[in-house]
Amino acid sequence: MSTYRFFVPPEWLGQGDVVTLAGGLGRQLGRVLRLKPGECIVLLDNSGLAYEAELLHLGPQAAQARLLRAFSPGTEARLRLILYQALLKGERFEWVLQKGTELGVSAFVPLITQRSILQAAEHIGPQRLERWRRIIQEAAEQAGRARLPELGLVQTFEQALAALPPGTPCLMAALAPQAASLHEVLEPLRVAPPQAICLFVGPEGDFSPEEVSRAAQAGMRIVSLGPRVLRAETAGIAASAIILYALGEMAAPKE
């Protein structure tokens, strides 16, 4: 099986057994990766299915491939984990997107909190959003995922709190005195795992006491990640990994 995986527009795969791979992908296959006719790649249409394809022709602007078979990679988590990550400095937020995608996070919501460096969604322009989507796609392709994690709109903490999905367990990782052990909170969920979990992670400096109080009043569970103080980007990835592992989403695949 090829290790080269690429998300493509679904309409590319609905035109018969031979597909044309145009644009940047067509150039990447021949000029960057230097693949040859007869080699196989995997195409993904974000439906959960994957398509093994044999390269037929590689030109300067496009390539052609023959679809050999469709299959389910079985790499998507059953649990829908939605990570509400406060915006971070520099490349740290991008690191969370990349590693969270690799782990199996289903959706990311960029969050503006009281202690966030950026205090307005207008500061996140189209170019940055496109860069974030590209990071997610490349990480999903590398990790063998069959669906692209969603990237939500930048929201304030108040907006996110007002739109919490009903009936979905919501956790806030915070350095708060009343925080319960994440292990203890997850233990009852192992018996009957929920379909989705929302996880809130704060910025450098953590959530403010007011935000923690408002989250608790909204029914969110305040959780601790242990006695050590983690960087904001580490906290989001560590908590995501713990949740996915505790609820059986990181077991070895069955043969």
Tell me what pLDDT residue 255 has: 42
Burial of 66 (0-12, 13-18, 19+ CB in 10 A): middle
Verdict on whether the full-model pTM lies above 0.85: yes
Structure tokens at 146: 């069959």
Q: Decide the pairing of beta strands 150-151 and 180-181.
A: unpaired
Tell me what pLDDT residue 65 has: 96
Alpha helices in the chain (DSSP H): 23-27, 92-103, 126-143, 157-162, 182-186, 209-217, 232-246
To the question of domain 5-71 being in CATH 1.10.10.10, the answer is: no
Structure tokens at 44: 């993904």
Q: Which CATH number fits domain 80-246: 1.20.1250.20, 3.40.50.10680, 3.40.1280.10, 3.30.830.10?
A: 3.40.1280.10
SS3 136: helix
Structure tokens at 173: 């990782």
Tell me what pLDDT residue 120 has: 59
- The per-residue pLDDT for range 56-88, each reduced to its tens digit, is 999 888 899 999 999 999 999 999 999 999 999
Of 25, 132, 19, 20, nearest in space to 70 by CA: 19
Give the span between the Cα atoms of 223 and 233, in whole angstroms: 16
Tell me what pLDDT residue 252 has: 61
Place of tokens 């007002």: 162
- The per-residue pLDDT for range 217-247, each reduced to its tens digit, is 999 999 999 999 999 999 999 999 999 999 9
Domain borders along the chain are 5-71, 80-246
* Ranges of the chain with pLDDT below 50: 255
